[in-house]
Amino acid sequence: MLLTNVVVDGAMTRIRVAGSTIEAIDPDLRRTVRERVVDCEGGTAEPGYTDHHLHLHALAAVRRSVKCGPPEVVDGAGFASALAGATADDNGWVRGIGYAETVAGDLDSTTLDRMYADRPVRISHRSGAMWMVNGLGARLLGLDTAHHAGIERRSDGTATGRIFRADDWLRERLPTTGFPDLAAVGAELLSLGITSVTDATPDLDDTALAHLRSAVAAGAIPQRVHLLGVPLGRTITEPRITTGPYKIVVADSGLPDLDDLTERIRAAHDAGRAVAVHCVTREALILTLAALDDAGPTGADRIEHAAIVPPDLIDDLVRLRVTVVTQPGFLADRGHDYLRDVDPSDRENLYRCASLIEAGVPVALSSDAPYGPLDPAAIIDAAVTRRVPGGQIAGPSERLTAAEAVGLLRTPVNGSPADFVIRDGSGATLAVVAGEMVR
């Protein structure tokens, strides 16, 4: 393929793509026999973005769900109205997403029944760590007699309707609706200039893996996909789909024993996999770093989120050679809640970026979509401004420059993978920040 009338680094040129790589960039390139010519009409070529941490199936499921949290829903009346107007799935369940306690306080089956009791309801917390079901939903799931460590119970043993870290268990208990079509997700990612992703969903079973592989093979997901949830002992290496570090969740709702976590990390390393450990709180990070130290780092291990990084742990991150995959977009999305709820001593420790980079810690930006904003422009803006809703600045010393935040916005070079997009516009510096459209 020969791309003509395309801007690279501010200058009009041509790009030749051979197979999956950029073969040449030169304004004097001429069409060869059978070469397809694409007129870019003055658009700008730039490398596609990589979202280093998102959840493809959850992104697709959002389209079948009712929004139950800010900014769409901000109070109890709006919440009840949203549930009453929601469309149930084929099995009669209403699926809500994005709930935050600022809407109507802590939810359990009793409080949810006061909002809506006519149909079974399950609602995900915006953190993605918890589901809440109403009374009818709890009865259909058999929560009172079910056995799962994530089922919260009252002192008398009855279930509260709050279920932590139990996505796989819920999927087995709920009437099957099949996996959602991923084509719309793939198209949305491309429209935002995202050409490769890391799916950070843990513990993908055979059916989930088969669905993802099929979506990539069929082109429904045209991005390159890196999977963290591939079980140990399995490796997937196919066109545009690869196996990444092994995902381990250190849940805030119940921290694991240090020896158990160390053994899980060691088992992954022995299987030839680095680890990607979900860490949100200070305590989870301390525990994870201790376990990595005991197991021995590989140099390819990752910390996912690192929402709070006390300054005295930065040297340990450097020493253990871990990469921090973080989401400054959460500051723009819900940073005012963080500033209200976290200990004042931790406000400067939220979603660190600049101090980690300065210390020598590799940092990757990501969305955690659908739990955080997906648009790279929003993530970049959050990393640069660190502005929370209401206008306050969270950790001004952690700001990145626009060039640092863009990261992948680099001039294409010969021999690099042909993962690039053509944007409208003249190729002004950092076009993505200005929101220029991907063609």
What does 142-177 look like in DSSP terms, one character per residue? Answer: TTTT---TTEEE-TTS-EEEEEES-HHHHHHHSPP-
What CATH number does the domain located at 65-173 have?
3.10.310.70
Q: Which residues contact 385 (CB under 8 A, 6 or more apart)?
A: 332, 393, 399
Q: What is the pLDDT of residue 411?
A: 47
CATH of domain 52-56+180-410: 3.20.20.140
Supply the pTM of this predicted model.
Answer: 0.85
Please choose, from the candidates 179, 199, 298, 200, the residue with its C-alpha nearest in 3D space to the C-alpha of residue 240.
Answer: 199
Rounded CA-CA distance 240/419 in Å is: 11
Q: Supply 266's token pair.
A: 């060691």
Structural fold of domain 1-47+411-439: Urease, subunit C; domain 1 (2.30.40)
- C-alpha closest to that of 277 among 257, 244, 250, 242: 250
Q: Which whole number is the average pLDDT over 417-430?
A: 70
Q: How far is CA 245 from the centre of its chain?
A: 15
412/11: higher pLDDT: 11
User: d(Cα 208, Cα 205) in Å, to the nearest integer?
Assistant: 5
Average pLDDT of the chain to the nearest whole number? 90
* pLDDT tens per residue across span 52-71: 999 999 999 888 899 998 88
| d(C-alpha 144, C-alpha 156), whole Å | 10
Classify burial at 255, counting beta carbons within 10 Å of its beta carbon; exposed 0-12, middle 13-18, buried 19 or more.
Answer: middle
The residue ranges of every structural domain in the chain are: 1-47+411-439, 52-56+180-410, 65-173
φ/ψ of 75, rounded to 5, equals -150, 175
What is the reported pLDDT for 290? 97
Token output for 11: 């200058």
DSSP state of 230: P
Whether the CB-CB separation of 82 and 96 falls below 8 Å is answered with yes
* CA distances (Å), origin 394, targets 29, 309, 369: 49, 14, 21
Residue 388 has pLDDT above 90, yes or no: yes
Neighbours of 152 (CB within 10 A): 15
